[in-house]
Structure 1
């Protein structure tokens, strides 16, 4: 088998580089919660948000509450097709951890599950022409059906060989996938699923980050980014859009994903009431060794931005006190849930 030489057209702009750096830094500060039960509960919440966002983009009207009810096996009064879409999406995401993003047969299997009972060609590349519509307007005519297998083989060959950063590679794959539009239906939800899968293999946190919810809120921009990339024959506008969605999702996450802190820092945060001096905090923790307190409790909490000085320009002032920052309060709220 000859190595694929296909190279999707995209340029790396300063905006793309800056967003990759910012996302990498944000992800580096996060870690999965140690509390397994809490982590599972929050994964479930985000999985519901992800399914809701991805299907809502495609016109599904079911609410997060209705999706939760379906997940719990309860009967929901709604259009049967929309209920089937939700059941399929939940079944697909149940397999999320086992799929290999660089395997084409896995993508076909994911499509089979996602579109089962909805279209005749579930799990098969389309046999007819297809266009991308925006209302009554055709905004993109996909390549002819007989070219789809070759184009998809080239795309997976590129994905397997590329050394592009996963944030960029996943966005390029997503755009190219939507351009090819390989299936009769379900292309949007499959493209978003596969980008999340590529990212989750880079960092497992992406299995629990509901980027689709933010894309749904910016649906017009999503389609505009696809159109602009197609017009320019350069995926850069779509890459920049997706990276902005990912970055915005990370910065607006509720505290289900929290900084990994030492027990000592956690104790310090729990002990602070309003503004307190070093001595008062140390006494509250019943610690006698001033040096140990400073090195193991105070400095790490300051370095993480969880507490702040009341007189930051005079760190050694005898009037110096410490208080929680917003980040510190969020961590406490998350740890107490």
Structure 2
């Protein structure tokens, strides 16, 4: 196996893998057949709604439920088609193999049917990821897509890394390659869920996409940070944090020291007043290591939705500042918050 995606196994990643594995066992032990079937349906709807919402679809969970039941919904034809396609695509999790390039192309065809001119076909032209008028990522040339995707699919079939890590690495690499003209975000999230479901079927029904939608700015920030570092560790940490959060909700748990609710994050919430820059936050915390600050304080707080950027459309702006959200204010007032 010659191709090796660049990523570092940080202590945070190792910790998250252990926590998720333990939580999977806990949720599995709580399962009740009748209750499980009902929750799976609810979570699948949340998953589809979250994944589509990240891409700008405005359909609610109630509307997607109605579409699933064959009822009429007042919405644009495109949004309805996106929902119908996504419903069918997630149903395909039971039949597709994560290591099959043919199945990946079939899934894209299902996900984008009636929405693009080239469903199930790799893009034939250049593409960049835009944020307003700014190009934040220029994908590899079209003539490299097929070989890059083949290498990536071969890697996930041959690697001995934990599926939790493999699924996140795949998701990042897929978004970096951006193999299709459209639908890359939806497909990356779908395929990560597929890889996870092969490890444990329970994870095929965790609404991670809904968690990601709630922390959408941090999702794109983690993608961008990984690209800037040529190391997908920030994205792996973010996605595993979202998965743990979904499992904790499924278990009815209130996390005390999750990656988003660590003493480091709570310290950050307590010193944040008004809007502050990264430099001001580091100085207030008495920290000098910028990399450690971002990994242990800033990104987890963003991922949890406790803080937000004052300029989310320009995440790397030198004028960027951070402020508490309502969730962050509530977390700061919590009785169990350590200082």
Within the candidate set 153, 167, 170, 2:167 is matched to 170
1:244 Cα deviation from its structure 2 partner: 0.8
In structure 2, how many angstroms separate the alpha carbons of the residues matched to 1:19 and 1:254? Answer: 16
Q: 1:32 to 1:51 in 2, by over 3 A?
A: farther
- CA deviation digits over 1:300-324, x for unaligned, max 9? xxxxxxxxxxxxxxxxxxxxxxxxx
In structure 2, how many angstroms separate the alpha carbons of the residues matched to 1:34 and 1:19? Answer: 22
Task: Give the equivalent residue in structure 2 for 1:148.
Answer: 145
Task: Give the equivalent residue in structure 1 for 2:331.
Answer: none
Task: Give the secondary structure class of the aligned counterpart of 2:182.
Answer: coil
Q: TM-score, normalised by structure 2?
A: 0.73
Instruction: Return 5+ residue gaps in structure 2 as ranges.
Output: 254-339
1:133 Cα deviation from its structure 2 partner: 1.5
- CA deviation digits over 1:238-272, x for unaligned, max 9? 0111111111111122659xxxxxxxxxxxxxxxx
Within the candidate set 39, 51, 54, 1:42 is matched to 39
Preserved contact between residue 27 and residue 251 of structure 2 (Cα < 8 Å)? no
Q: Does 1:73 align with 2:74?
A: no
Task: Give the equivalent residue in structure 2 for 1:130.
Answer: 127
In structure 2, how many angstroms separate the alpha carbons of the residues matched to 1:213 and 1:87? Answer: 18
Select between 89-98 and 56-65 the one with higher mean Cα deviation: 89-98
In structure 2, how many angstroms separate the alpha carbons of the residues matched to 1:210 and 1:32? Answer: 19
Task: Give the equivalent residue in structure 1 for 2:7.
Answer: 10
- CA deviation digits over 1:168-190, x for unaligned, max 9? 01000000000000000000010
Q: TM-score, normalised by structure 1?
A: 0.73
Preserved contact between residue 31 and residue 205 of structure 1 (Cα < 8 Å)? yes
Instruction: Return 5+ residue gaps in structure 1 as ranges.
Output: 257-337
Preserved contact between residue 32 and residue 205 of structure 1 (Cα < 8 Å)? no
Preserved contact between residue 26 and residue 251 of structure 2 (Cα < 8 Å)? no
- CA deviation digits over 1:215-251, x for unaligned, max 9? 0000011111111000000011101111111111111
In structure 2, how many angstroms separate the alpha carbons of the residues matched to 1:35 and 1:25? Answer: 19
In structure 2, how many angstroms separate the alpha carbons of the residues matched to 1:245 and 1:136? Answer: 29
Q: Does 1:240 align with 2:233?
A: no
CA RMSD, 1 decimal? 1.4
1:34 Cα deviation from its structure 2 partner: 5.8
In structure 1, how many angstroms separate the alpha carbons of the residues matched to 2:251 and 2:11? Answer: 29
Q: Does 1:108 align with 2:94?
A: no
Preserved contact between residue 215 and residue 245 of structure 1 (Cα < 8 Å)? yes
Which protein is bigger by CA-based radius of gyration? Answer: 1
1:43 Cα deviation from its structure 2 partner: 1.1
1:32 Cα deviation from its structure 2 partner: 7.0
In structure 1, how many angstroms separate the alpha carbons of the residues matched to 2:22 and 2:251? Answer: 18
